[in-house]
């Protein structure tokens, strides 16, 4: 009797699991929120904001006014911008220092998607933290300010506060972009601090250089810190220039970081 060999079965492979963008966002959120450095950064930002707003409210109360209520909340941004930028930088440089970036890119090989997910999560975390800080600062300063916030006037309340949130997001994205570009914590922080703090100081020194250097002083209004100051001034009307400048400052480092991420090994 001739036995017939069983016909080989065609191998059936389950389709490869594709990491969706929503799951990538969830993964990045978990990674960022489980870092102690994240909570230190957000905590320092909140303490600085509340402390400075409270002191300004005391000063305004002693002098019979002088600060718009919204200004009391947004003025600390001149200091907290550094913490926001450093937060954005260490989010990614920490992954490079531990080697976790290789696991991230293995799970999601599309590097631009990885950068976008990190940018979305960093922006969301910073936006929520800043909005909550403004809410707390408003409660802390309200008893010290005779004229409370006039919410019926968006130009003196909602608009400067919303632009303050947007400015903090921009600062964190500047740090994130330098983090992807430099890949080293100290280097990324140095570059971020240089752009946000050192560069305005250097430009201001040219005030003693005469009219020949006036163009440099005029360009200082488009630096990140000065652009944010203009955007968060209650009642300001000419917002297009500062908004474009701050957006460009946020996008350029991120785009350069994206180019570096695409062309260099992890």
State how far the Cα of 188 lies from the Cα of 97, in Å rounded to an integer: 12
3-state helix, strand, coil in the chain (%, to 5): 75, 0, 25
SS3 for 251? helix
Percent of the chain with pLDDT over 70: 90
Token readout for 112 is 């631009």
pLDDT of residue 66: 65
Report whether 129 contacts 42 (CB < 8 A).
Answer: yes
Instruction: Say how many CA atoms lie within 13 Å of 140 toward its Cβ.
Output: 20
Report whether 235 contacts 74 (CB < 8 A).
Answer: no
Chain mean pLDDT for the chain = 89
Confidence class of residue 151 from pLDDT cuts 50, 70 and 90? confident
pLDDT of residue 62: 67
Instruction: Say how many CA atoms lie within 13 Å of 151 toward its Cβ.
Output: 1
How do residues 45-81 score in pLDDT, each as one tens digit? 999 999 999 998 888 776 666 678 889 999 999 999 9
Residues 6+ apart with CB under 8 A from 241: 221, 222, 227, 230
- Averaged pLDDT, 147-171: 89
How do residues 94-132 score in pLDDT, each as one tens digit? 999 999 999 999 989 999 999 999 999 999 999 999 999
pLDDT of residue 63: 65
State how far the Cα of 62 lies from the Cα of 57, in Å rounded to an integer: 9
- Averaged pLDDT, 12-19: 54
Token readout for 116 is 């976008």
Q: In 3D, which of 232, 262, 221 has the Cα closest to residue 81? A: 232
Instruction: State the pTM of this model.
Output: 0.89
Phi, psi of 33 (to 5 degrees): -75, -10
State how far the Cα of 25 lies from the Cα of 114, in Å rounded to an integer: 9
pLDDT of residue 17: 59
Residue 9 has pLDDT above 60, yes or no: no
Residue 142 has pLDDT above 90, yes or no: no
């Amino acid at each position: 009797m001739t036995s017939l060999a069983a016909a080989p079965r065609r191998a059936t492979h389950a389709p490869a699991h594709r990491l969706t963008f929503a799951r990538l966002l969830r993964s990045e959120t978990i990674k960022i929120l489980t870092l102690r450095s994240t909570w230190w950064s957000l905590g320092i930002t909140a303490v600085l904001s509340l402390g400075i707003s409270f002191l300004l409210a005391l000063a305004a109360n002693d002098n019979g006014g002088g600060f718009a209520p919204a200004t009391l909340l947004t003025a600390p941004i001149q200091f907290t911008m550094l913490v926001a930028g450093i937060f954005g930088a260490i989010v990614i440089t920490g992954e490079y220092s531990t080697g976790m970036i290789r696991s991230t890119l293995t799970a999601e090989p599309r590097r631009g998607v990885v950068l976008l997910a990190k940018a979305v999560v960093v922006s969301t975390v910073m936006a929520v933290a800043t909005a909550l800080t403004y809410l707390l600062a408003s409660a802390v300063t309200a008893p010290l300010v005779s004229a409370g916030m006039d919410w019926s006037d968006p130009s003196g309340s909602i608009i400067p506060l919303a632009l303050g949130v947007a400015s903090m997001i921009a600062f964190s994205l500047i740090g994130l972009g330098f983090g992807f570009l430099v890949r080293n914590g100290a280097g990324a922080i140095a570059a971020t601090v240089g752009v946000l703090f050192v560069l305005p100081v250097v430009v201001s020194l040219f005030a003693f250089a005469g009219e020949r250097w006036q163009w440099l002083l005029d360009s200082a209004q488009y630096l990140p810190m000065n652009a944010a100051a203009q955007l968060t001034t209650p009642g300001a009307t000419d917002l297009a220039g500062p908004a474009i400048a701050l957006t460009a400052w946020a996008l350029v480092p991120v785009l350069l970081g994206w180019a570096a991420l695409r062309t260099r090994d992890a």
